[in-house]
Structure 1
Amino acid sequence: MNILVISDIHGNYPALAAVAQAAAPFNCSHILNCGDSLVYAPFPNETLDWLRRNQVFSIRGNTDDRVVKLLKGKSMKKPSKPEKRIMYTSTAAALTAENKNYLLELKKKKILRLGHAFIGMYHGSPTDHEEFLAADTPDKRFKELAKESSCEVVLTGHSHSPYHRQVGGVHFINPGSVGRMMDGRPDAAFAILQLDNGRIEASLHRCAYDVEAVVKALAEQQLPAIYGEMFRTGTKRLD
């Protein structure tokens, strides 16, 4: 059984489409998405339409949480900078009724049984929705989480840092970010999880996508051009 693992799409449908094409040869039976599906790229409906159409197992991330607040009529304290806030408000305003309902129904975590394995899906970590677990996180932290986990596989996102760490009998996997990698390479990231009669393996992948389509859409929607440069350079901020 091959499973496509994705996270942190951030509304970047061109990147998501490229990942879908790159993963097609693996003939994945399921798709698991660890949240932050929205905000920073201007394709919220295309992104959620794809997740719904492909029956993706999805959870919410922290950017999704803020959009949910806006949809519920609540105020949003963070981010405070106007160029960031508009990315949230424009996303919430653009969503179709179907996608609003879909987002409102998503939970912050999910545990699945696929094949012989129990798989936990979290955005940050099993104990903290916004914890950053990265490729260089010390083994000590993963050992602590492994002791508290009833799952053979723990999937996370949030850090945009791809890794596969096997610690304390648990496979910890972060596929990286589909839509907003921050390591100086704009290429989209994803993982393939392989389950075979109790054997668990994972591989990490990158693929190019049409970055200029994102830059063009930002300009057409009169959204801050700085995000276009961030997508071009694969960075979180520009100095």
Structure 2
Amino acid sequence: MMRIAFISDIHGNANALDAVLKDLEFKEVDKVFVLGDLCFRGPEPKRSLELVRSLNTEVIKGNADEWVVRGIHVGEVPDSAIEIMSNEREWTLSQLDQNDINYLSNLPTELMLEFEKVKIHAFHATPKNLFEVVQPSESDEVLQEKMLDSEADIYIYSHIHKPYIRYLDGKCIINTGSVGLPFDGLDKSSYALVEIYEESFQTTIVRVNYDIKAAINKYYESDYPNSEQMIKVLLNAKV
């Protein structure tokens, strides 16, 4: 049996990532993959990125990583949010160095994996787009069109910060949820665990407690722009 974890959407919340990595160690996970959005919109972008890189594993790019590299374009967020989010991006850049930016810039956008004949296709939002939103409530037709574009058994993505597992036409679709910024009303980190037994598999959404007060204090200790709004999101686990 092999245990494989998929984590994503850390968003600079290194306290949450600490707790998740401790949980992965406790569960004796064999392999971990990271599906993007590593450092933007949180108080500890540098430490979050360092923790991810210390895993020495495969990491893919998320939309927030792309934003750090090249900025936020008009139409990618609501007009009312672009100024403050651009300020947040500038603050994040100030915490990173050129090596960090190069690392984010060069990340791939998908993973094609195979373990014990179980094929896994992992990506951030959809296989062809870092920004597209596919919610848990989408119709079978939408999921079929936007997600199932390969010969995988399991499709794993992140981006929406709302974990779920769903089956469609014999395929398993998993959303990891978010390590650092959950949006489903439960203020616990989330990741996906896949356990493979020869040619069969079992999937689980894991929720992990972390020290939210410590994460909030990191916002207060920094000069992070928009900190009050981000603290509300942490506390409510909703946007």
* TM-score (norm. length: structure 2): 0.88
1:230 aligns with 2:233: yes
Q: Which amino acid aligns with 2:23?
A: A
Moved more, 95-104 or 5-14: 95-104
**How much does 1:147 deviate?**
5.4
Once superposed, what is the RMSD of the aligned Cα atoms?
2.0
The answer to whether the 8 Å contact 1:49/1:99 transfers is no
Q: Which amino acid aligns with 1:233?
A: N
The answer to whether the 8 Å contact 1:146/1:168 transfers is no
Q: Which amino acid aligns with 1:34?
A: L
- Aligned residue for 1:170? 171
Of all paired residues, the percent bearing the same amino acid is: 25
Aligned 1:35-184 pairs, distance under 5 A: 35-70=36-71, 76-77=73-74, 80-145=81-146, 148-184=149-185
Q: Which amino acid aligns with 1:107?
A: P
Q: Secondary structure at the match of 2:125?
A: coil
Q: Aligned partners of 2:14 and 2:231: how far apart in 1?
A: 14
Map Cα deviations across residues 205-236 of structure 1 (whole Å, 9 max, x no partner).
11121112222221222222221122122121
Q: Aligned partners of 2:146 and 2:82: how far apart in 1?
A: 34
Q: Which amino acid aligns with 1:35?
A: G
**How much does 1:40 deviate?**
1.3
Map Cα deviations across residues 185-216 of structure 1 (whole Å, 9 max, x no partner).
22111111111111121101111211122222
Q: Secondary structure at the match of 1:166?
A: strand
Distance 1:226 1:30, change over 3 A: same
**How much does 1:157 deviate?**
0.7
Distance 1:46 1:147, change over 3 A: closer
**How much does 1:155 deviate?**
1.0
Distance 1:82 1:216, change over 3 A: farther
Map Cα deviations across residues 90-137 of structure 1 (whole Å, 9 max, x no partner).
112211343223212102222222332222111112243322223222
Q: Secondary structure at the match of 1:58?
A: coil
The answer to whether the 8 Å contact 1:146/1:169 transfers is no
Q: Aligned partners of 1:167 and 1:127: how far apart in 2?
A: 20
- Aligned residue for 1:210? 211
Q: Aligned partners of 1:2 and 1:192: how far apart in 2?
A: 7
Q: Aligned partners of 1:164 and 1:9: how far apart in 2?
A: 20
- Tell me the matched-pair count: 232
**How much does 1:166 deviate?**
2.0
- Aligned residue for 1:22? 23
The answer to whether the 8 Å contact 2:66/2:105 transfers is no
Map Cα deviations across residues 139-184 of structure 1 (whole Å, 9 max, x no partner).
2223335653221221101111111112123221111011111122
Gaps of 5+ in 1: none
Q: Aligned partners of 2:68 and 2:163: how far apart in 1?
A: 25
Q: Secondary structure at the match of 2:190?
A: strand
Gaps of 5+ in 2: none
Distance 1:170 1:107, change over 3 A: same
**How much does 1:15 deviate?**
0.7
* TM-score (norm. length: structure 1): 0.88
Q: Aligned partners of 2:147 and 2:67: how far apart in 1?
A: 29
Q: Secondary structure at the match of 2:204?
A: strand
The answer to whether the 8 Å contact 2:33/2:58 transfers is yes
